[in-house]
Amino acid sequence: MNHSTSGRKHYLDNIRWITVVLVVLYHAIYMYTPIIPLGVGPITDQAVQYQDAYLYMVYPWFMVILFLVSGMSARYYLEKHSHKEFIRTRTRKLLVPSTIGLFVFQWILGYVSMSMAGAFDSFEAVPIPILYFIMVLSGTGPLWYIQMLWIFSLVLVLIRKIEMDRLWTLAGRFRKLGIIGLILLVIPVFLSAQILNMPIITVYRFGLYGFCFLLGYYIFSHDEIIAVLNKHAIWLAVVAVILGIAYTIIYFGENYGDAPVNRNILNTAFLWMACLAILGIMNRFFDRSNSFTAWMNKRSFGLYVFHYLPAAAFAYYVGKDSSMPAVIVYFLTILAAFAGGYLLYEILSRIPLLRWAVLGIKKNKEADHVQG
């Protein structure tokens, strides 16, 4: 078995930035859906908003694939760095932006989110310092992902200290079970989806995301296992699309982000087949880099951190009361998310204190682009 990781795995970079693009599109459409009423609500008089089908087709799996890739990347990073370096880097790149960054910048998103929800009407008598703290907490937005990733990274270091890499070596034998074995992992994935789910703030799914992070580290970081997915990539993708269509048709109109829909077997089967297909397809056809993919990859983290604020601000201040056709409002919301996200990244990544606090960039505006 080849334990080395020579050469950068460009397909993981491509999965990352493409998934971030899908997340941005998701949030732009999400702003106007009545299904999860956390945006501004519908801007059309349609009895059925068919554009919301996109939300069902991507939501079950796009954060799961990010945690799988993060687990794989953690393995590649730790093959060349110490635990101390790993924790220090992860703390700066993940914990600092999702804690200190909230106080420095993301409270602005908290203000917009609270305005969108009409929350300020309930806080008229609240002292300004306390109101600011509430806005800070409300400004977490999509940063929940990096908060959880930091926690999982610490847990991983603890596990590694106990098992001394024996578990990773043992997990490599999983390749002998072939594609059937990888598909049957859907069973423990389904079970993990049933536990450690936070109430109210439903995105914090410690069971599912933590287990998938560890699967990425222990199982899918083996090149031989990825080779199995590469071989079966096409039919895995076909099955994933069929499951996604069935899932969307059956549950369209129901809250896909909470129980029971986000914990049922069809949801899990769809997300798992989608993740297997994505790893196989991307490894088979997109394990390469060019100037465009390098540019997108370099800015994907910044886009993820910043896109939600301009999307939410446009939806609240312009989109919800606009006389423009709905299709134009959707387009402009998407444009605001991308342009605003990139613009905020380019500006804040050049300001020394802010780039550390909001993006976790230490010395210069170039982000850490080691695989990990």
Q: What is the pLDDT of residues 270-326, one digit of tens each?
A: 999 999 999 999 999 999 999 999 999 999 999 999 999 999 999 999 988 888 999
Name residue, tokens 């977490």.
140
Q: What is the pLDDT of residues 65-121, one digit of tens each?
A: 999 999 999 999 999 999 999 999 999 999 999 999 999 999 999 999 999 988 888
**Among candidate residues 244, 247, 313, 245, the one with its CA nearest the CA of residue 275:** 244
How big is the CA angle at 162 (ends 157 and 164), to the nearest 5 degrees?
A: 85
Residue 101, CA distances (Å) to 129, 166, 201, 311, 372 in order: 17, 37, 20, 19, 21
What integer pLDDT is reported at residue 258 of this predicted model? Answer: 92
The pTM assigned to this predicted structure is 0.93
Domain spans, the chain:
10-359
